[in-house]
Structure 1
Amino acid sequence: MRKTSLGRSGVSVTGVSFGAAGLGNLGTEVSEEQARATLDAAWDAGIRYFDTAPHYGLGLSERRLGEALRHRPRAEFVVSTKVGRLLRPRSDTSGSDIANGFAVPATHERIWDFSAAGVRTSIEESLTRLGLDRIDVVYLHDPDHHEHQVFAEGYPELERLRDEGVIGAIGAGMNQTRMLDRFVRDTDVDVVLLAGRYTLLDQTALDSLLPDAFRRGVSVVIGGVFNSGLLAAPRSGATFDYAPAPSALLDRALRMETVCENHGVPLRAAALQFPFGHPAVSSVLVGARSAEEVRDAAALSARPLPAALWADLLCSGLLPAGVPLPTDLP
Structure 2
Amino acid sequence: MSGSTERSELFGRLALGTVQFGLTYGITNTSGKVGPDAVQAILARAAEVGLSTLDTAALYGDSEQSLGSAGVENFAVVTKLPELGRDVADPGLWVRTQMLASLSRLRLPRVDGLLLHRPDVLMTESGPAIWSAMQHLRAEGLVRAIGYSVYEPRELSSLYQAFRPDIVQLPYNALDSRFEVSGWIARLADGGTMVHARSAFLQGLLLAPRDGLPEKFSRWRSVFDAWHQWCSARGLTPLQAALGHSLAHASIDRVLVGVAGMDQFSEILASVSRHPIAAPLDLSSSDIDLINPSRWSSL
Q: Same fold (TM over 0.5)?
A: yes
Query: Equivalents in 2 of 1:229, 1:150: separation in Å?
Result: 36
* 1:155 partner amino acid: W
Instruction: Please give the TM-score of this superposition, normalised by the length of structure 2.
Output: 0.80
Q: 1:246 to 1:203 in 2, by over 3 A?
A: farther
Instruction: Look up the SS of the partner of 1:67 in the other structure.
Output: helix
What does residue 43 of structure 1 align with?
A: 47
Q: Decide whether the 8 Å contact of 1:162 with 1:170 is kept in 2.
A: yes
How far does the alpha carbon of each residue in 1:95-135 deviate from its partner, in whole angstroms, 9 at most, with x for none? xxxxxxxxxxxxxxx88969211110011001111111211
* 1:83 positional shift: 1.0
Cα offset, 1:203, TM superposition: 0.7
Q: How many residues align?
A: 270
Q: What do the CA deviations read for 1:251-286 (whole angstroms, capped 9, x no partner)?
A: 222222122123321122221221234333101000
Alignment partner, residue 13 of structure 2: 15
Aligned twin of 2:71: 69
Name stretches of at least 5 consecutive residues in structure 1 with no aligned partner: 4-12, 87-109, 321-330
Counterpart for residue 138 of structure 1: 114
Whole-angstrom CA distance in 2 between matches of 1:150 and 1:18: 31
Please give the alpha-carbon distance, in whole angstroms, between the structure 2 residues aligned to 1:47 and 1:85.
29
Once the two structures are superposed, what CA deviation does each residue of 1:151-206 show, in whole Å capped at 9, x if it has no partner? 322122111211222211111013233223443333231110113xx211111112
Pick the aligned partner of 1:201 from 172, 175, 179.
175
* Bigger fraction of residues in strand: 1
What's the RMSD between the two structures over aligned residues? 2.8
Change (3 A) 1:78 1:253: same
Q: Which residue of 2 aligns with 1:164?
A: 140
**Fraction of identical pairs, as percent:** 28
Equivalent-residue separation in structure 1 for 2:87 and 2:233 (angstroms) = 48
Q: Which residue of 2 aligns with 1:224?
A: 199
- Aligned partner of 2:230 in structure 1 is 259
CA distance in 1 between counterparts of 2:70 and 2:157 reads 34
Distance 2:283 2:154 in 1: 25
Q: Describe the superposition over 1:274-329 as per-residue Cα deviations: whole angstroms up to 9, x where unpaired.
A: 12343331010001121111112222223534x6x85xx46xx4369xxxxxxxxx
Distance 2:79 2:170 in 1: 14
Q: Which amino acid letter does the alignment assign opposite residue 2 of structure 1? A: E
Give the partner amino acid of 1:254: D
Residues 45 and 150 of structure 1, relative CA distance in 2, 3 Å threshold: farther
Relative to the length of structure 1, the TM-score reads 0.73
Matched residue SS, 1:119? helix
1:124 aligns with 2:100: yes
CA deviation map 1:38-97 (0-9, x unaligned): 32232233211001111111xx11011122234xxx4x42011111348xxxxxxxxxxx
CA distance in 2, matches of 1:35, 1:55: 18
Choose which of 154, 162, 172 in structure 2 pairs with 1:178.
Answer: 154
In the other structure, the counterpart of 1:26 is: 24
